[in-house]
Amino acid sequence: MIKVNIVCVGKIKEEFYRQAVAEYVKRLSRFCKVEIKELAEGKSLEDEAEAIIRASKGYIFALCIEGKKLSSEGLASQIKVLCDRGEEITFIIGSSYGLHPKVKHIAACMLSFSDMTFPHQLMRVILCEQVYRAFMINSGSEYHK
C-alpha cells in the first residue's frame, strides 16, 4: 500500500479542523497509509527547514503560493503515476511564515492551491480532501463531479 506523508509545522488547535482531517484520513485508508507529522514551530524558517527536510521522504510536494497550479484531475494524474511506481509521497505545509528556500529546493514539485492565502490549519483539511478526491478520481468513483 502506498504511503502518503503530510509534514506540517504546528498543531491544529480547533477541534472541527482535527475532525475534518481525521475523516479524510479515515476515507483515504482504503487507498493508502497516511501519516501526519506535526513539527514544532521553529525560532526561524531555517530551524523549521531542517526538521521538515528530515521528515520528508519520497516524492515531495511543497505547498507554496508560487508553486504550480493543478486541477483536481491533474493532481490525480500525478498521484497515479507515483502510485504506479510505488513511490512514497510527501506533502509539506509550512508554518504561517511559509517555507524556507531550502525546503522548496528539495521538492520535486512546488504546488499552489490558489493565489489566495489560507490558514495553515485549514490548508491541511483542503489538502486531505484533494488527496482523497485524487484517489477517488483514479478509482473511477462518482465522488468527483
What is the DSSP code (8-state) at residue 116? S
C-alpha cell at 91: 506533502
Instruction: Find the angle CA(123)-CA(117)-CA(90) to the nearest 5 degrees.
Output: 40
Q: Return d(Cα 1, Cα 25) in angstroms, integer.
A: 14
pLDDT > 70 in the chain, percent = 99
Kindly report, residue by residue over 58-116, the tens digit of the pLDDT. 999 999 999 999 999 999 999 999 999 999 999 999 998 899 999 999 999 999 999 99
Q: Is pLDDT at 145 greater than 70 in this prediction? A: no
